[in-house]
Structure 1
Amino acid sequence: MILKRGVTGFTKGDLSLERDGVACSAEFKRYCYSYVGQLKGRVLSFYEPDSVVGYAHAHVKIDGEAFYIFYNDLYDYVAFTSNCEMGGLEFIDHPLLADLFKNPYQVLTAAQLTEPLAFQASGNGNILLNENDLNDVELHFMNRFRSQTVGDLVFNYWD
């Protein structure tokens, strides 16, 4: 199950989900430089989490192809995208890089991240039918920002 409690970054004060985000981001950065270098590519830019984008990500180029590596530090999820557009991420698979990242991270595939969210109307909102353990704050933001896919939740731009 990908949609675990707190995966969106909204942990609702659950201290069991707290991690040292700075240390996690630094470790991810080291792996990015190492793994991209092993494939004779280069890291063009590295972005730390901030108030707009709550997850670290790297802009990389391998074999003439530029793309992004995203990192969800709460669950050590890694994903690849062809763009960095707010609300319109295009997830891709990169098998060679995925093979390198698969230990110590869980690499999510484009198919997993583009899985549509299934809703059922209920009262003033919607019930998420996809397998999930999201908290009520996450479900509220999911409805407010009209998330459409699993990737919209895992790598969101909610404010």
Structure 2
Amino acid sequence: MFKKIVYSLEYLLGVKVLDYKEYRGICCSYFEAIVEYRNEVISIWLLRDQPWIVFTSHSSIFINHPPLTGAFHSYYPGYRILTAEELNEPLEILVNKDGLQIGKELIHHFSLYDMNYWQPKTVGDVLFNWWD
């Protein structure tokens, strides 16, 4: 579904899809589409387990992108667009009976073992990673 949405952005917004990656068999927590919009190369990442999307610069730095955010809000309102500010928040982990709470979100699929082993520093480090 994400691939179809990304290609629909060509028609809706005039982006050019440069690449689409699902990283099958690799321990990556997200799908990635690389697009060009007005001579700017942007990656769109979709979290595998949640309908959460982020935009990154070509060097994988989280960015806010108002035109793409607007397109997702207008045409695909079921997706949550995370901001660079949310993703760059220092990591605060709370453990409760329902799972791990990272920042303001309750996350079920990350373990304390992973947190201790990988030592993430920000919310974005936890959500979008290559942990095995």
TM interval, shorter chain, is 0.7 to 0.9
Residue pairs, 1:79-98, within 5 angstroms: 79-83=54-58, 89-98=60-69
The reply on whether 1:114 has 2:88 as its aligned counterpart is yes
What is aligned with 1:69?
44
What is aligned with 1:58?
33
The reply on whether 1:141 has 2:114 as its aligned counterpart is yes
> What is the alpha-carbon distance in structure 1 between the residues aligned to residue 72 and residue 102 of structure 2?
30
Which deviations, in whole Å up to 9, do the C-alpha atoms of 1:16-63 show, x marking residues without a partner?
A: xxxxxxxxxxx1111111124322121100001321323211011000
Residue ranges of structure 1 left out of the alignment (5+ in a row): 1-26, 121-126
Kept in 2, the 8 Å contact 1:147–1:153? The answer is: yes
> What is the alpha-carbon distance in structure 2 between the residues aligned to residue 95 and residue 82 of structure 1?
14
Instruction: Give TM-score scaled by structure 2 length.
Output: 0.80
> Percent of counterpart pairs with the same letter?
33
Kept in 1, the 8 Å contact 2:19–2:33? The answer is: yes
Structure 1 residue 95, shift from structure 2 partner? 0.8
Kept in 1, the 8 Å contact 2:43–2:57? The answer is: yes
Partner amino acid for 1:53? C
Kept in 2, the 8 Å contact 1:36–1:62? The answer is: no
Residue pairs, 1:93-104, within 5 angstroms: 93-102=64-73, 103-104=77-78
Q: CA RMSD in A?
A: 2.4
> What is the alpha-carbon distance in structure 1 between the residues aligned to residue 5 and residue 41 of structure 2?
18
> What is the alpha-carbon distance in structure 2 between the residues aligned to residue 131 and residue 115 of structure 1?
11
Structure 1 residue 130, shift from structure 2 partner? 3.5
Q: 2:17 aligns with which of 22, 43, 62?
A: 43
Residue ranges of structure 2 left out of the alignment (5+ in a row): 95-99
> What is the alpha-carbon distance in structure 1 between the residues aligned to residue 102 and residue 35 of structure 2?
35
DSSP 3-state at the match of 1:133: strand
Kept in 2, the 8 Å contact 1:36–1:97? The answer is: no
DSSP 3-state at the match of 2:17: strand
> What is the alpha-carbon distance in structure 1 between the residues aligned to residue 110 and residue 70 of structure 2?
34
Kept in 2, the 8 Å contact 1:119–1:129? The answer is: yes
